[in-house]
Structure 1
Amino acid sequence: MNNPLARVAVVTGAGGGLGSAIAQELGADGFQVVLVDRDRAAAEAVAGSIGDKAVLQPCVLSADVTDAESVQALVNEITRRYGRLDALVNSAGVERVSALEQAPEADWDLTMDVNVKGPMLLCRAAVPLWRAQGSGSVVNISSRAWIGGSANSSYSASKAALVGLTKSMAVELGPLGVRANAVAPSFVRTPFNEQRSDVTDMAGMIERYEAFTPLRRLVDPVDVANAVTFLASERARNITGEVLHVCAGSQLPPIV
């Protein structure tokens, strides 16, 4: 049975390593969590694993965040079930690893569609809900790559664009009572990164990242999830248009 008093949070890419951690922490914080993934089976598995940790039983829905009709159908279903949307976490993302000179145009288009167009479509579809309830929160998952081009061109460009989009959302949606922020992690050990085609030595990569950070440690998915949960909550009610780096300090310029 739906709880009409519950805060509702939607997490896209919920079947992935970051998305699942975010969904778990939001659920533990009392949100009615809606796990959204194009791979419904992956989201169902996450729901089963976090169900006993959540205050309310998670809900699973499937959608293609790059398709406007699919996104609208998702928001319509959320409206039908809950009548509100308190937190939208855009965690769905892709990265196609290739040098600029060899980068296929299709990879560029896919990266921009998922990482930038998807959050735009979801926020656009949610505006009527937010206008009606007079509140809401958006948390976009960017990356430390947005400030330094430390990833390939399409991924770095998409995450920089997402930061720009976040700031525009904060300005445009603020009068509706809606906040918009971004969380920008550094390298996080998740299946998303472990399966990258350019990773041949995961242990060596982790060692290099740990040595690179001022705190000399790797970021865990729960670190990102904790930041997202804070920004999604009323504890951050006057924070908007910000980028919260969860990088163990690796977003800072190196000492020379």
Structure 2
Amino acid sequence: MNAGRVAVVTGGAGGLGAAIGTRLIGVVEHVVLADRNLDAARDRAAQIPGAVALPLDVADDTSVEEFVADVEKRYGRLDVVVNNAAVTAVRELDALQRADWERLMAVNVWGPTALCRAAAGVWRGSGTGGRVVNITSRTWLSGGPVAYVTSKAGVVGLTRSLALEFAPLGVTVNAVAPSMVATPFTRSGRTEAEYAAFEARHLAMTPMGRFATPQDIAEAVGFLASPGAGFITGEVLHVCGGAQLAPSP
């Protein structure tokens, strides 16, 4: 079976996941928006020609394995994996609970690891190669909420390690590190006053004087998923308007 190239985007029900899915049409023929919130993912997919929604809990190994098996059964291939799903906890160390830590590591670090492990089985069998694009964060350079930043730094380490492991399969592995994107995810865990202060700090530290948009991030993902990026692997592409050069806000 050859149904045309296929990309999966985790966290596909969110604004960033939907923007990435929209951008990937043209790079691939089919996009799968994967999310625990299947109804919301279906709503997003209905707005993207060539997209479908499938259920996925990246922190659950059985869910990951069943998801990849479903994609392979439907399309006979898997070309691009975008690990976008994430959770956050806006807590300093004294307020951080072990349950917070374990949840972030399960979703933000183990989730991409498990999905890549399952996808590798498809790539070993097909010999067609592929692309992995992991969404990390500029905060891996600057620091910030300890559990979230540690998880995103872990994604950078995962990216570099898998770039070496997957190279013989013809699979590139790269990461996109956004600065602040104004989404409900960014607001999560902050009061209105805290969020306003957070916005002001980030705007002040961004040389280009604006926030990143979902489209900015999606364009970077689209490039790394494209044939033109076939000899780029193990890299972190900062989409920050220069904020990666600034100190922590």
With the length of structure 1 as denominator, give the TM-score of the two structures: 0.92
8 Å contact 1:40–1:62 — kept in the other structure? yes
**For 1:143, which of 137, 145, 155 is the aligned residue?**
137
Q: Which amino acid aligns with 1:181?
A: N
8 Å contact 1:35–1:60 — kept in the other structure? yes
Moved more, 200-209 or 239-248: 200-209
Distance 1:131 1:253 in 2: 41
Partner residue of 1:54? none
Distance 2:46 2:101 in 1: 34
**For 1:47, which of 34, 45, 48 is the aligned residue?**
45
**For 2:189, which of 196, 205, 208 is the aligned residue?**
196
**SS in structure 2 opposite 1:101?**
helix
1:209 aligns with 2:199: no
Q: Which amino acid aligns with 2:176?
A: V
8 Å contact 2:205–2:246 — kept in the other structure? no
Distance 1:209 1:84 in 2: 41
List, as ranges, runs of 4+ consecutive aligned residues in structure 1 with deviation greater than 6 Å.
Answer: none
Partner residue of 1:36? 34
Alignment of 1:155-170 (within 5 A): 155-170=148-163
Alignment of 1:206-245 (within 5 A): 206-245=199-238
Partner residue of 1:110? 103
With the length of structure 2 as denominator, give the TM-score of the two structures: 0.94
8 Å contact 1:17–1:192 — kept in the other structure? no
8 Å contact 2:206–2:246 — kept in the other structure? no
Q: Which amino acid aligns with 2:228?
A: R
Q: Deviations over 1:67-121 (max 9, x none)?
A: 1111000010011011111100000000011110110110100000000000000
Segments of 5+ residues of structure 1 without an aligned counterpart are: 52-56
Segments of 5+ residues of structure 2 without an aligned counterpart are: none
Distance 2:16 2:96 in 1: 26
Q: Against the structure 1 CA distance between its residues 29 and 199, is the aligned structure 2 distance closer, same or farther, given a 3 Å change threshold?
A: farther
Partner residue of 1:60? 53
**SS in structure 2 opposite 1:251?**
helix
8 Å contact 1:97–1:198 — kept in the other structure? no
1:97 aligns with 2:90: yes
**SS in structure 2 opposite 1:50?**
coil
Give, in angstroms, the shift of residue 198 of structure 1. Answer: 4.4
Q: Sequence identity of aligned pairs in percent?
A: 50
Give, in angstroms, the shift of residue 233 of structure 1. Answer: 1.1
